[in-house]
């Protein structure tokens, strides 16, 4: 059975170099848990983690790195991981035709396959104890995919579908699965995202205007990631966490928009970023 609320737990979190991952690690530590915060490059370890949080290098796309990291955690905890927070993520911006297959694979490898890799490594220990919780950080974009974000949306949609099946498969072993869908938070994921467009692309003018509107909207609505971190850390302790938790008012609005008929929803999303229903004829 899961541990009672606020009993110290072992929590493994991916993608803690900043943003929501860092905020979750700090919030879980404040709740008294033993936190293993992981990131690809320990040379960029945030100073905030010097407060007792244990840090490990982890590249979620590298099977050897995943194996070494999880083995280190299990060795340090006598085989115990109470909660795994799959937060590591990346993004890119560009219209589908302008985005290479390699870039799609890069985004999917981190956001989707990375979560599979780490979860697969942790599950045997959870099954042995007949207890555990797998928390997956998805996105409101999974509900309402937007132009220029097709690779990111595809990765999060895949994550959601996998989580639905995973929840059913793991329940007999006492392992719970939970998704969180953040809206806009002040993180570096989109600021650092590579952009893809070609000078002679039929999408170049649309991309310039769409990206500007998108970044403006994010800047106006983005919230403090500490809020998201606190909510995710609370899910570690929740007796019966909901399967989906929406983080932020825009995520809750996004859920309502997702209930609209597809054509109505697409029309609304186009207007949100000033996207025309029909492009000008090619010159």
Give per-residue pLDDT as tens, 63-88. 999 999 999 999 999 999 999 999 99
CATH code where residue 128 lies: 3.40.50.720
Compute how many other C-beta atoms are within 10 angstroms of the C-beta atom of residue 183: 22
- Asked whether the predicted pLDDT for residue 89 surpasses 70, the reply is yes
Active-site entry in 36, 112, 152, 203? 152
- Asked whether the predicted pLDDT for residue 254 surpasses 70, the reply is yes
Residue 14 lies in a domain: yes
Residue 24 lies in a domain: yes
Alpha-helical segments (H) within the chain = 19-30, 63-76, 101-108, 114-129, 150-170, 204-221, 225-237, 249-258, 262-272
Residue 114 lies in a domain: yes
Confidence class for position 190, pLDDT limits 50, 70, 90? low
Q: Which of 144-153, 173-182, 214-223 has the highest mean pLDDT?
A: 173-182
The pLDDT > 70 percentage for the chain reads 88
Residue pair 121/47 in contact (Cβ under 8 Å)? The answer is: no
Residue 198 lies in a domain: yes
Residue 147 lies in a domain: yes
Q: Which domain holds residue 175?
A: 10-246+256-272
Residue 268 lies in a domain: yes
Residue 192 lies in a domain: yes
CA distance 261 to 120: 36
Residue pair 193/200 in contact (Cβ under 8 Å)? The answer is: no
Q: Pick 224 or 173 by higher pLDDT.
A: 173
Q: Measuring CA to CA, how many Å separate 152 from each of 16, 185, 252?
A: 19, 16, 20
Q: Is the dihedral of CA 88, 257, 163, 28 positive or negative?
A: positive
- Average pLDDT, stretch 142-146? 86
Catalytic-residue membership of 185: no
Beta strand pairing status for 175-182 and 10-13?
A: unpaired
Q: Please state which of the ranges 33-42, 131-140, 268-277 shows the lowest mean pLDDT.
A: 268-277
Residue 2 lies in a domain: no
**Selection from 153, 111, 154 nearest residue 136 by Cα:** 111
Confidence class for position 6, pLDDT limits 50, 70, 90? low
Q: Pick 211 or 129 by higher pLDDT.
A: 129
Q: Could you give the number of structural domains in the chain? A: 1
């Amino acid at each position: 059975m899961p541990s009672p609320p606020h009993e110290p737990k072992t929590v493994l979190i991916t993608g803690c170099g900043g943003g929501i991952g860092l905020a979750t690690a700090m919030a879980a530590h404040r709740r008294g848990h033993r936190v293993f915060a992981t990131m690809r490059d320990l040379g960029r370890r945030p100073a905030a983690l010097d407060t007792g949080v244990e840090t490990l290098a982890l590249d979620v796309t590298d099977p050897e790195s995943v194996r070494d990291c999880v083995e280190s955690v299990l060795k340090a905890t006598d085989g115990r991981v109470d909660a795994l927070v799959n937060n590591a993520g990346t993004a890119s911006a560009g219209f589908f035709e302008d985005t290479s297959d390699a870039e799609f694979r890069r985004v999917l490898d981190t956001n989707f396959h990375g979560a599979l890799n780490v979860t697969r490594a942790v599950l045997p220990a959870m099954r042995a104890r007949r207890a555990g919780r797998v928390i997956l950080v998805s996105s409101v974009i999974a509900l309402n995919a937007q132009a220029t974000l097709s690779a990111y949306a595809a990765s999060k949609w895949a994550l959601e579908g996998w989580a639905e099946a995973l929840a059913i498969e793991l329940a007999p072993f006492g392992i719970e699965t939970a998704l969180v869908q953040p809206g806009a938070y002040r993180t570096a994921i989109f600021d650092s995202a590579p952009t893809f467009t070609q000078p002679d692309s039929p999408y170049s003018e649309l991309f310039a205007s769409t990206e500007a509107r998108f970044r403006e909207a994010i800047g106006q609505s983005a919230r403090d990631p500490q809020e998201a971190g606190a909510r995710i850390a609370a899910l570690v302790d929740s007796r019966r966490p909901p399967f989906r938790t929406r983080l932020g008012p825009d995520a809750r609005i996004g859920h309502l928009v997702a209930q609209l008929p597809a054509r109505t929803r697409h029309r609304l999303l186009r207007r949100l970023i000033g996207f025309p229903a029909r492009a000008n004829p090619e010159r």
